Structure formats: C-alpha cells, structure tokens
Amino acid sequence: MQIKEHSKVTGFSGNEIYCLKKLGYKAGPLCLGNNVLALGVSRGIGAGLSNLAGGEIQEITSMVHDGRKNAYNRMMDEARQYGGVGLAGVSFDMINHGGNLEFIALGSTIHQPDAAAGSDKLAFSTSADAQALYCQIDAGFTPHSFVFGNVAYSIGFGGNISGALRGLKRGEVPQYSEIFDRTRHLALTRIKDEAKAVKANAVIGIETSIMPLLGAQEMIMMGTASTHSALSDYSNDPITSDLTNEELWNLVNIGYLPIRLVMGVSVYSLGLASGISSFFKSLAGGEVQNLTELLYEAREKALERIEVDAEKCGADEVVGVKTRVYDLGGGLVEFMVIGTAVKKIAGVTTRTDTLPPQAIIQDRETFVDSAEGGNVTLTQTRAASARATQRGPVSIIFTILFVVFYVLVKMAAHHR
C-alpha cells in the first residue's frame, strides 16, 4: 500500500509544540496505520466455544492483538518515511464495519530542528502526548517504545448458570474471584513482556480500557516502555504504573518512584434470601442494609488484595487508587481496585524544580462526538456498571421464579 505524505499536518496542539521546543524537538506530520480483519468461520467457532466455557477467549485476544499490531507497524513505516526521531501520542481506535473490524493506530512524528533530510532515525515511540513526554523526560525516564497488552474474556454460559445457583448463597465466590483476577492480570503480564523485549525497566503512563467486543469483553493496557537509571534492578521485571505523567513527575520530585501497578478483584453474590429482602426493601424505600453491607465487604476484600501485593513488592504505599463495579449477571458482582504502588528511593528527583504551565494545561476539546463507538474507558463504564449491579438481586428472583414455573408446567403436563 502506497503511503501518501501529509508533511504539513500534525496531531500536536499548541501546548505540545511548546513542550517539544523546550525538549529540543519540533513537531512533525501525523501518521496513520490501519488493518481490517474478519474473525473467520473456524476462529469464530473456536471463539464461540471459548465464550461458552468462560475465561480468556484466546481466538479473539489473538485476532485483536494482531489487528492492532499490524496497524501499529504500518504507522511506524509511515513515521520512518517522514524521517522523525520519535513518534508521540500513539493511540488505538477500533471501528466495526458490518462485522469486519478496522484497527487504527495514530501518532505524530517528532523531529530534530535543522536536521538534514533523511538523517533522522526513528529512535522511540510513546503513548504520551508531547506534554506528558516532557513530564516523563524531566522525571528521568527515557522512552523506548509504545507497548500494549490485551485479553478478551467472558464469564461464559456455564458461568451464568452456576452464577444463578451460587447466587443462592450470600458472599464471595472465590472461584470467580480467582478466574477474573488471573484473566485481568494477563493484560499486565503481556505489556511487561513487550517492555522486556525492548530492554526497558519500566512501563509508565499505562491507560486501561474495557469494552464490549464480539459478545465478550476486552481489557487493554497501553503505555510507554522506558528506562530510568534508578530502576536498574528491575530490568528482568519492569515496573508498571498507571499514574498520569503529571502525577509521576510530582512523586519523582519528592523522591518516590512507581514500583508496580496493582489490581485487586473480588466477585460477590448477594444471595437469594438477601436478594428477596432487598427487592422488597427497595419497594418500601430507605436503606437496603443487606446490599450496603455486601458492597462494603466486597470493596474491602479487593482493597486488602492490593495491600498484600504492595507489601510483596516492598512498596511504601499505593496511590491513585480507583474502584470499579461490574455486573456479571445472575446476581454476581465484580469489584476491581487498581492503583500504583510507590517507593521512596534515596537520591531520586526531577531534573528541574518546576514544570512549565504548558506541560500541565489540559487542551480543551473543540470537537465533541457523542456517537457510539471507539474505546470505552473504565471511567465511562462505571455509571452503567453500577446501574446494572442493582439488577443483580432481581435477576436471581426472576431466575428462581422461572425455574419453579417451568417445573410446575412439566408436572401438570405429566399428570394429564
């Protein structure tokens, strides 16, 4: 496919161009790569069977990973044609074209001022925009490569049936907690593997998205594989962080470095008895105590798990903690807690004492598209998931009523 040049078109904003100049760079052209894939019959059958079983759906994980990787490689080829030293603001998008999925990679090249044509060599790519890149470099991190890890998963048909049955008993469902914890950590393991492949000791600026995909859910993590001189002990096990780059700079300035992105997962069931009482209490109004206690207990369990992870990696504390709630159906609710474990390290600080305003000013969005599509972030899914959670007790009740009705009809037919 022939690459067309758009040498006067860049994705960098005014604030980003200012930050690039402070770093000794100048803005370059916008680059794009795409790839359209179809699931295919054989892979579709395999994905369907995996979806029934629950857990990771490897066929979809692999297809989506390959689609994004192909789009990324084509974008990088375009960046090399433009002769940039780097590519910043790398991001993914995905569009469904009548059952065929188009994967899109976007980024903008970075150039050295007054460099001779063709003399620049593409040295790095990063998920950070130019403002975030300024924060990363001033915090002592050297970017190497944009990296990502993904996993497609489903609770499965069997999971929904057993979920309804397990919903008869109130409390945590350890089997599901283990499955979802392991599945979600696969994305983190894969992004670290990509970082190790480019000999980085850190993955910073990780952004996590969860979206519906081909009847399942996909979790994708994107960030920048980097190195920091104070993290040489982590070459075989890169540190991970979902701190924003401004937060990262602030913590490094006072002597802290991120050690590990930590996640805690707990899957709970309200239970039939509690579900019935909660349902009628909802009709009467007032506090639904059973639901209050359950949700509190579930969050506490997830928080305990990230504290354990933080202690294992020798961190001082976990910062930037976010909590998310997902309705799994059949009265099952998943709670996920995610944050970054940090540690105080002697001698660590930023290169300068302050950041320029242009590095922290948030660009105002001037084009707003409310149409559905694209990635759905954790923040965007929170409200919908919380509303869906309230239907858990009701779904248990209606499941049991349906089973009783079905049995009664069969018994009546048998006596005729």
Considering 96-105, 112-121, 323-332, 403-412, the range whose residues carry the highest mean pLDDT is: 96-105
202-260 per-position pLDDT tens digit: 999 999 998 888 777 899 999 999 999 999 999 999 999 999 999 999 999 999 999 99
Q: Is the pLDDT of residue 406 over 90?
A: no
Q: Is 143 exposed, middle or buried (0-12, 13-18, 19+ CB in 10 A)?
A: buried
Residues 357-378 as b or e (16 or more Cβ within 10 Å = b): ebbbeeeeeeeeeeeeeebbeb
pLDDT at position 35:
95
The answer to whether residues 350 and 255 touch, using CB atoms and an 8 Å cutoff, is: no
Band the pLDDT of 179: cuts 50, 70, 90. Answer: confident
| Tokens, residue 407 | 């049995």
Average pLDDT value for residue range 16-27: 96
Per DSSP, the three-state class of 398 is helix
pLDDT at position 282:
54
pLDDT at position 182:
86
- H helices of 127-284, in order, are 130-138, 157-166, 174-197, 245-253, 272-284
**How far from the centroid of its chain's Cα atoms is residue 251's Cα?**
22
Phi first, then psi, for residue 39 (nearest 5°) are -65, -40
What is the H or E stretch that residue 90 is in? strand 86-97
pLDDT at position 19:
97
Nearest to 334 by CA among 381, 302, 362: 302
Rounded Cα distance between 159 and 126, Å, is: 38
| Tokens, residue 374 | 């694209």
- Other Cβ atoms within 10 Å of 413 Cβ, number: 8
Give bridge partners of residue 257 from the DSSP assignment. 343
pLDDT at position 14:
94
101-128 per-position pLDDT tens digit: 899 999 999 998 876 555 558 899 999 9
Band the pLDDT of 39: cuts 50, 70, 90. Answer: low
Rounded Cα distance between 136 and 224, Å, is: 10
Contacts of 189 (CB under 8 A, 6+ apart): 149
Say what the pTM is.
0.80
Give bridge partners of residue 150 from the DSSP assignment. 220
Rounded Cα distance between 187 and 203, Å, is: 13
Percent of the chain with pLDDT strictly greater than 70: 74
Rounded Cα distance between 393 and 396, Å, is: 5
pLDDT at position 141:
98
- Other Cβ atoms within 10 Å of 233 Cβ, number: 9
Cα–Cα distances in Å, from 146 out to 135, 222, 299, 326, 416? 16, 7, 33, 29, 69
